[in-house]
Amino acid sequence: MMHISISTFQAPALAGPDTPPRRGGDGPGTAVISRTKPQTKRPSLYRVLLLNDDYTPMEFVVHVLERFFNKDRDQANTIMLHVHNHGVGECGVFTYEVAETKVTQVMDFARKHQHPLQCVMEKK
């Protein structure tokens, strides 16, 4: 949002013996335009996490990481093993809307394939 304020001031008259005095608003003035820069704030970021369970196959988790988080095979395997060994693993960091979409996509995909895989997001 840009805010522009305009104020007008009267230049002093160069009065001579034959020059009548100026009254406020009766002559050319000078306009001053100032711009206020918008204050922008970086959006909050959210971590998207996969949670370990005892039923979802490791290969399915790798597939999810490749498909929804654009991980290559090695990255997906590393994250999947981290989830398996530590109970949770980070898939990526996104703005709120993107993170929410990723969580929904993963959860829907897991449900569709009858896996109990859980995906959550948390503020970074």
Determine how β-strand 45-51 pairs with β-strand 88-95. Answer: antiparallel
pTM of the model: 0.69
Using alpha carbons only, what angle is made at residue 31 by residues 26 and 32, rounded to the nearest 5 degrees? 145
Domain ranges of the chain: 54-123
Looking at the chain, list the stretches that DSSP marks H as alpha helix, in order from N- to C-terminal side.
Answer: 58-69, 73-86, 96-112
Question: Of 21-30, 39-48, 52-61, 90-99, which gets the smallest average pLDDT?
Answer: 21-30
- Residue showing tokens 């369970």: 53
Name the residue among 112, 106, 108 with its Cα closest to residue 89: 106
Q: What pLDDT, on the 0 to 100 scale, is given for residue 35?
A: 82
**CATH classification number, 54-123, choose in 3.30.1390.10, 3.40.50.300, 3.40.50.720, 3.30.70.2740:** 3.30.1390.10
